[in-house]
Amino acid sequence: MAEYFTARGLPVPRELRQNPLTDWRRLTLIAAALIVFVIGLRVTNLDLSRANPEYSAQLLRQLFQWDLTILTPRNDFETFWDTAEGLMVVTIFLGIIATVFSVVVALPLSFLGARNIMSGNRVTAAVYVFIRLLFTVVRSIDVLIVVIVSAVLLGIGNAAGVIGLAFHNVGVLGKLYSEAIEGIDPGPLEAITATGANRFQVIWTAVLPQIVNPYISFTIYRLDTNVRLAPILGLVGGGGIGILLFQSINLLQYGAAGLIIFMIVITVAAMDFASAQIRRRLV
C-alpha cells in the first residue's frame, strides 16, 4: 500500500508507515504502565505474612452463624427501632431524606449552573462559573469525609449522616442537572423567545419539558446510590445500621455482623433492581 503513495511522491500516511507491534510510542506506553505497577507494588508493600489462615477460616464460618437475637428487642429498654431490621429501615430513609434535601438545593442551583441559560451577560456568566465551581468543590469531598466532619459539628447520629450525604449529593446532582439543561435543543428556546415571552416563560415552556425525564432519571440514580452508601455512614458516626455493624465487629460478634452484612446486600440488591426498573419505564 505504501508504494501507492511513494510512487506518486505523496507523503505516506502514518497508519501505513509503522508496524503497530514495533511502534515505539506504543511500547513506551506499555513499559511505563508496567513500571508504575511495579513501583506501586514496592511502595504499598503488600504483606500477607501476618494473615492466619486457620483464624480466618474460623472467622468466616462465624460470619455465617447468624445471631438472630439482633432481630428482636434484647431487653426492656429496646424497641423495634433498635433491632437490626428497624435500623435497616432507618438507614433506607437516611438515603431517601438525604436525596430529598439535595434535590431541593440542587434543582434551583442547576439552572444557575447551566451555561446556555446564564451566558446572557457578564453577571450571570460569573454566577455560572461560581456555581459550577461550587458543584465541583462540593463533589470532590467524599461522603465519608463530609460525614466525619458533620459528626464532629452536629454530633454522632442520623443528622450527621443525612447532612453529609446530602452535601456531597448536591454537588453530584447539581452537575448532572446542569448538564441536562446544557444538552437541550436550543431551537424551542429561540422560538419561544421570538413570541415575546419573558425569560421565565421561556424556561417554563421550552426548557422544562425537555429536562423532566433526565431529571427524574438522575434523581432515581442518585437515590439508589445514596441508599447504597447509607449503611456505611454509621462506621464514621453517621447513624443507621452502620453503627450496629461497627459495634458488632468491635465486640467480635461476627454472627451479628454477618447477618447485618447479609441484610445490607439484600437491601442494596433490591434497591438496584427497583431503580433499574423505574428508570427503564421512565426513559
User: Interface with other proteins by CB under 8 A: which residues?
Assistant: 185, 187-188, 190-198, 200-201, 204-206, 209-210, 212
Decide whether 20 or 196 has the Cβ nearer to other proteins: 196
Give the shortest CB-69-to-other proteins separation in angstroms: 54
Give the shortest CB-208-to-other proteins separation in angstroms: 9
Give the shortest CB-279-to-other proteins separation in angstroms: 18
Decide whether 53 or 196 has the Cβ nearer to other proteins: 196
Look-up: residue for cell 444538552? 183
Decide whether 20 or 187 has the Cβ nearer to other proteins: 187
Distances (CA, A) of 119 to 17, 123, 198, 204, 249: 46, 9, 16, 18, 53
- How many CB atoms lie under 10 A from the CB of residue 283? 10
Decide whether 49 or 195 has the Cβ nearer to other proteins: 195
Give the type of residue at 114: A
Give the shortest CB-193-to-other proteins separation in angstroms: 6
Distance CA(266)–CA(110), nearest Å, equals: 34
What is the DSSP track for 134-187? Answer: HHHHHHHS-HHHHHHHHHHHH-SSHHHHHHHHHHHHHHHHHHHHHHHHHTS-HH
Inter-axis angle of helices 158-182 and 143-154, to 10 degrees?
Answer: 140
What is the DSSP track for 15-51? Answer: HHHS-TTT-HHHHHHHHHHHHHHHHHHHHHT---TT-
Rg of the chain (C-alpha set): 27
Decide whether 10 or 194 has the Cβ nearer to other proteins: 194
Cell numbers for 212: 423532566
Give the shortest CB-212-to-other proteins separation in angstroms: 8
Decide whether 27 or 212 has the Cβ nearer to other proteins: 212
Decide whether 89 or 197 has the Cβ nearer to other proteins: 197
Give the shortest CB-277-to-other proteins separation in angstroms: 21
Give the shortest CB-216-to-other proteins separation in angstroms: 13
Distance CA(129)–CA(138), nearest Å, equals: 14
